[in-house]
Amino acid sequence: MSKAIYPGSFDPITFGHLDVIKRASGLFDALDVVVMQNPNTKTTFTLEERLGMLKKVTKDLPNVTVHARTGLAVNVARDFGANVLIRGIRAVMDFEYELQQATANMILAHDIETVFLLTKPEYSFLSSSAVKQIAMNDGDLTRFVPSAIIGDVVNKFKK
C-alpha cells in the first residue's frame, strides 16, 4: 500500500491546499494530512480549529485522514508508515525553501521521498496569509477557501 503525508500549518486551509490534497489522494492509497505544530510559530487559528476545518473539507475523500503532530516531518512520516512527503509549490520562492527542506530530509531519512506538486495556475497567488488579510478587511472569500469553512474564517476575524 502506498502512503504519503502532507504536513503543513493550514492556518487556514485554502483552495490551493485542498487542490494538493485531492491530487495527492489520487496518487496514493492513503494520505495523512498533518497539521504540524511549531511552538515558535504564532498561528491565527487554534489547533482544534485547523483540524476541524480540514476535517470538514476532506470528509468526502475516503483515503484521507487528518491529524496533528509536532516534530520533524520525516519522523511523523515514519510514525504513520508513510515513505512520501507531499509538498505544494506555488512559485520559485517556494521551490527554494522546499528544496532546502527536502535536502535536509534526505540526509535525515534517505528512505523517505519528497514529492512536489505544482500548484494550478489559478492558485499560484494564494496563501493563508492572503486569506487572513482578505478576511480582516471584510473581503469576499468565496474564491479563496472552501464554502464549508468561510463561516469559520469570517467569525475568527469578527471577534
Full residue range of the structural domain in which residue 98 is found: 3-158
DSSP string of 33-91? EEEEE-TTS--SS-HHHHHHHHHHHHTT-TTEEEEEEES-HHHHHHHTT--EEEEEE-S
On whether the CB atoms of residues 25 and 3 are closer than 8 A, the answer is no
Helix (H, G, I), strand (E, B) or coil at 144: coil
CATH number of the domain encompassing residue 64: 3.40.50.620
What is the residue-level pLDDT of the chain in tens, covering all 159 positions?
A: 899 999 999 999 999 999 999 999 999 999 999 999 988 889 999 999 999 999 999 999 999 999 999 999 999 999 999 999 999 999 888 899 999 999 999 999 999 999 999 999 999 999 999 999 999 999 999 999 999 999 999 999 986
Cβ–Cβ < 8 Å for 156, 45 = yes
Q: In whole angstroms, what separates CA 9 from the centre of its chain?
A: 6
Q: What domain count does the chain have?
A: 1
